[in-house]
Amino acid sequence: MDRIIIFDTTLRDGEQAPGFSMNVEEKLKLARQLERLQVDVIEAGFPIASEGDFEAVKKIAAEIRSVKIAGLARAVPADIDRCWQALEGATHPRIHTFLATSDIHLKYKLNRTRGEALDIAVKAVERARKLCDEVEFSAEDAGRTEINYLCTIFDAVIEAGATIVNVPDTVGYQTPAEYGQLIRTLRERLKNADRVTISTHCHDDLGLAVANSLAAIENGARQVECAINGIGERAGNAALEEIVMALDTRKRYYNVTTGVKTQELYRSSQLLCQLTGKQVQVNKAIVGENAFAHEAGIHQDGMLKNAVTYEIMSPDHVGVPRSMIVLGKHSGRHALEARYRELGYTLTREQLENAYVKFLEVADRKKRVEDQDLISIHESAHRLAAG
């Protein structure tokens, strides 16, 4: 199977999300967990952005030895030099430089012609390559860049020494069919496509970041840029845990693999929540509170007979302690009896029926019935029976 490179940008693009800023020690703590998670690349920050970011990248580069460490730099000499100053202590450094290429960005943001942007990009890659053996070039807003110009600029930066070309859907505008076709076209048209890794960087403005990333993989992309819990600018980045588990769960379909240690996914998500004070939504795929929780009676009955009926992956495979049978008004007798058994009570048919009636009365008043409620129901029934 082909190996997909997992490029984690939690510490760079992820941290740019409002309210998700981390200090140097927090970034270092998360970087250690990303190393345990066994991602391939950690984008540790944007060194020229601040002294704090520079120090974070430098410390991470010095300590994290088994993972490639990338720093971001605009296609500006000072950025590239500063990036290298932060990275030069890394075992496996990568300079990641970028320039906007869409006509929208060239006109309204950069005030540059296509020719001027091409020249800037080539010079940036040449400068970076003199410093570092591994250089990634990102064509910002590639998803809205005219395809002929995108091919021209990628051909030029590859010739200048880029080893990875990244195709960002910077504003989350693409659909899976469009983005997949874009990656396929680049593979077919780039003169030296076999000399580089084609990478994705998808945003979630339309909720399609993960779908677009998977479509890109199907069409030949071999690096995916993503973030824990999908954090990032605006609606966020493609969620690392969702991409990894889609590839793992549907391995026969995608016919690719990653080096990620999936059992560390939940721990990574929880650490990020702890460091930022921002929790994921309860129905978040893979790592949300309800991802392995079941309340409907039919589902609970199936789960109690065999978990494969309603779970396509086991919770322990992603580091979640266990599946949860949540008792509420949709639950059935089978789930109630199983929970009583877990609590140490063996109920007769009549006792179970009586308990179930009382249970439904409580469930109509509360969103979730807790173990203490069940104990109270049982003790109350026991006192009545005793006279």
In the chain (387 residues long), the average pLDDT of successive 10-residue segments reads: 96 93 96 98 97 97 98 98 98 98 98 98 98 98 98 98 98 98 98 97 98 98 98 97 98 97 95 92 90 72 73 86 68 82 83 88 83 80 58
Residue 359 pLDDT: 84
CB burial of residue 2 (10 Å; 0-12, 13-18, 19+): exposed
What single string gives the DSSP state of each residue in 258-271? ----GGGHHHHHHH
β-pair type (197-202, 68-74):
unpaired
Together in a domain, 166 and 303: no
Would you say residue 286 lies in a domain? no
The gap between the terminal CA atoms of the chain, to the nearest Å, is: 69
* DSSP letter, residue 176: H
Tokens (6 digits) for 150: 């995108």
Last residue of a domain, one of 276, 307, 329: 276
Would you say residue 283 lies in a domain? no
Together in a domain, 365 and 243: no
Residue whose token pair is 């769960």: 249
Would you say residue 148 lies in a domain? yes
Together in a domain, 41 and 163: yes
Check the CA dihedral 252-258-261-267 and report its sign.
negative
3-state secondary structure of 229: helix
Residue 228 pLDDT: 98
Would you say residue 98 lies in a domain? yes
Together in a domain, 233 and 375: no
Together in a domain, 190 and 317: no
What is d(CA 142, CA 102) in angstroms, rounded to the nearest whole number?
Answer: 6
**Quick one: how far is CA 82 from the chain centroid?**
28
CB burial of residue 268 (10 Å; 0-12, 13-18, 19+): buried
Residue 185 pLDDT: 98
Would you say residue 285 lies in a domain? no
Together in a domain, 266 and 301: no
Number of domains the chain is built from = 2
Would you say residue 288 lies in a domain? no
Q: Is the pTM of this model over 0.85?
A: yes
Would you say residue 54 lies in a domain? yes
Together in a domain, 247 and 110: yes
Please report, for the domain that includes residue 252, its CATH number: 3.20.20.70
Which domain, by its residues, includes 375? Answer: 293-386
